Amino acid sequence: MSASSSTASSFETIIGLEVHAQLKTGSKMFCGCRVEFGAPPNTLVCPVCLGLPGALPVTNSNAIALALRAALALGCAVHTRSVFARKNYFYHDLPKGFQITQYDQPLATDGSLALVSEVGGEAVSVRIRRLHLEEDAGKSLHDRFPGLTAVDLNRAGIPLIEIVSEPDLRSPALARAYVTRLKQTLEYLEVSDGNMEEGSLRVDANVSVRPRGSRDLGTKSEVKNMNSFSQLEKALTYVAAQHVKLTEAGSVVEHQTMLWDPARGEARPMREKEDIHDYRYFPEPDLPTLVVSEAEIERTRRGLPELPWQKEERFVHEYGLPGYDAEVLSATRPLADFFEAVAGAAADPKTVSNWVMGEVMAACNEGGVGIAELGLEPGALAELIGLVGSGTLSNNLGKQVLRKMIETGKAPEQIIDEDDLSKVSDVGQIEAWVAAVIEDNPKEVERYRRGEEKLLSFFIGQVMQKSKGRADPARLREVLLGAINRDWGG
């Protein structure tokens, strides 16, 4: 069963994605203009990216290097010769009247990305049709001046890669998993920061439905303007359901581009420049053939970092972690590095994993920060884990100390000293707490003695409260049982 069955079990959802990722370069694709998000409008422009007559493009070699890394990590065949082409159309955010992209001879083709299906955990390999380089267009601002559209050309000419998948995805959830994996991979490669909100990762989703068992592809809709993973999944679910409804009603699905409206949770047909699909592509006359040598391809391949799926596998083998832990801890490189630093200094990797996936990630989520911004030293966490392991701190106290460590940046030993937090095993002290609790709760003691044994945990809780969590649980149980029984009838 796939998730598309929630739309209608007799139809299958087919999805192919075109993902645009902004490359992490300091300057634009064909000129020296700086790349920066949020700069004042039209301050990062020059004759080349403004498309002024006579200005000539020069290819940014760093952009090519980054695209090459992405292509190789995705298992693509890289072509030593590829060609830039002009895609001609008129739009106010495109001052040259054409976009420089790659068309019939792209940088790379025939890659794949392995996913694990959210249903039943089966392995899915999504074929990547092509990966090519192109430049971004400017940005239209429709809401600044009533009745007018403003144009910011800071984005015009920023280098992008476009990654086109085959229609291999069979549910909106799997499409989301694909984009998540792709973003993670590009981040690992330091090719793109993958920020969907800032538009450095943009997804055009193609979706169609067909009767189960059919081998033909149905007519697709192209959906744009999803700015988060959850919006992507919602938009695809919405459009697929529309296709099913139309088909079941005996209507024809028309090929359309739809704009997703996150606020209203619906997709509308786009008023469009792009419906007239004649871009009159031709090779860009101002740029030479893009040549990448075999040597450079090999050098790049050797220089690839450990990729997410490789790291996950290593975490399972090297640290004996469950697959789930390996996946969570490998979500980002900083998190994985943090885990490894702690694991290297502490005894048991699974215990470290529990702390990192539990308390540490909860603190990150609470603060809305990444592991790097949390300011927690791996060595300090290892020390804390050691203190809990040796019994100096109870588990609960350990969590308390960790919270203080994050707040103050202090070492665990110092916090334990200052707050007088270490576990109390001293029998005299525990007996005093127990005696006080028995005295304070005569009714409960009475009931316990009449056979309500479950009240034992109530007493333990009371003593824990009195001791501010410091009483050694094993000792406490012993003392408590002894005290209640000794006083029995007396």
The enclosing H or E element of 124 equals strand 123-135
DSSP E strands in 368-415: the ranges are none
* 31 interacts with Zn ion by CB under 5 A: yes
Stretch of 49-57, 101-109, 347-355, 362-370 lying at the interface with Zn ion (CB under 5 A): 49-57
3-state secondary structure of 229: helix
Least Å distance, CB 375 to ligand ADP, is 42
| C-alpha closest to that of 139 among 120, 122, 152 | 152
Distances (CA, A) of 437 to 159, 447, 463, 486: 70, 14, 7, 15
CA distance 1 to 3: 7
* 128 interacts with Zn ion by CB under 5 A: no
CB closer to Zn ion, 139 vs 245: 139
Instruction: Count the Cβ atoms, other than its own, within 10 Å of residue 303.
Output: 10
The enclosing H or E element of 108 equals strand 108-116
Stretch of 130-138, 216-224, 293-301, 448-456 lying at the interface with ligand ADP (CB under 6 A): 216-224
Name the residue with the smallest CB distance to ligand ADP.
16
| C-alpha closest to that of 253 among 239, 271, 266 | 239
Least Å distance, CB 174 to ligand ADP, is 13
* Partner touching 31 among ligand ADP, Zn ion, none, CB below 5 to 8 Å by kind: Zn ion
Distances (CA, A) of 235 to 230, 249, 411: 9, 21, 48
CA distance 99 to 349: 51
CA distance 161 to 220: 23
CA distance 171 to 365: 28
Contact pattern from residue 64 through residue 83 relative to ligand ADP, giving x for each residue in contact according to CB under 6 A and a dash for the rest: --------------------
Placement of tokens 């005290």 in the chain: 483
* 267 interacts with ligand ADP by CB under 6 A: no
* 49 interacts with Zn ion by CB under 5 A: yes
* 179 interacts with ligand ADP by CB under 6 A: no
* 14 interacts with ligand ADP by CB under 6 A: yes
CA distance 322 to 320: 7
CA distance 208 to 253: 9
* 283 interacts with ligand ADP by CB under 6 A: no
CB closer to ligand ADP, 48 vs 239: 239
Q: Which of 46, 56, 58, 347 binds Zn ion (CB under 5 A)?
A: 46
Stretch of 14-22, 69-77, 439-447, 455-463 lying at the interface with ligand ADP (CB under 6 A): 14-22
First-to-final CA distance of the chain: 67
* 29 interacts with Zn ion by CB under 5 A: no
* 165 interacts with ligand ADP by CB under 6 A: yes
* Partner touching 64 among ligand ADP, Zn ion, none, CB below 5 to 8 Å by kind: none
Stretch of 20-28, 201-209, 339-347, 481-489 lying at the interface with ligand ADP (CB under 6 A): 201-209
Distances (CA, A) of 22 to 59, 63, 203, 304: 16, 10, 12, 19
* 240 interacts with ligand ADP by CB under 6 A: no
* 206 interacts with ligand ADP by CB under 6 A: yes
Q: Which of 106, 138, 159, 218 binds ligand ADP (CB under 6 A)?
A: 218
- Amino acid letter, 480: L
Residue 471 DSSP one-character state? B
* 15 interacts with ligand ADP by CB under 6 A: yes
| C-alpha closest to that of 139 among 121, 117, 154 | 154
Least Å distance, CB 198 to Zn ion, is 20
Least Å distance, CB 135 to Zn ion, is 10
CA distance 62 to 27: 9
Helix (H) and strand (E) counts in the chain: 18, 16
Least Å distance, CB 253 to ligand ADP, is 10
CB closer to ligand ADP, 220 vs 404: 220
Q: Which of 46, 52, 56, 217 binds ligand ADP (CB under 6 A)?
A: 217
CB closer to ligand ADP, 246 vs 341: 246
* 207 interacts with ligand ADP by CB under 6 A: yes
Interface positions with ligand ADP (CB under 6 A): 14-18, 164-167, 206-208, 217-218, 220
Interface positions with Zn ion (CB under 5 A): 31, 33, 46, 48-49
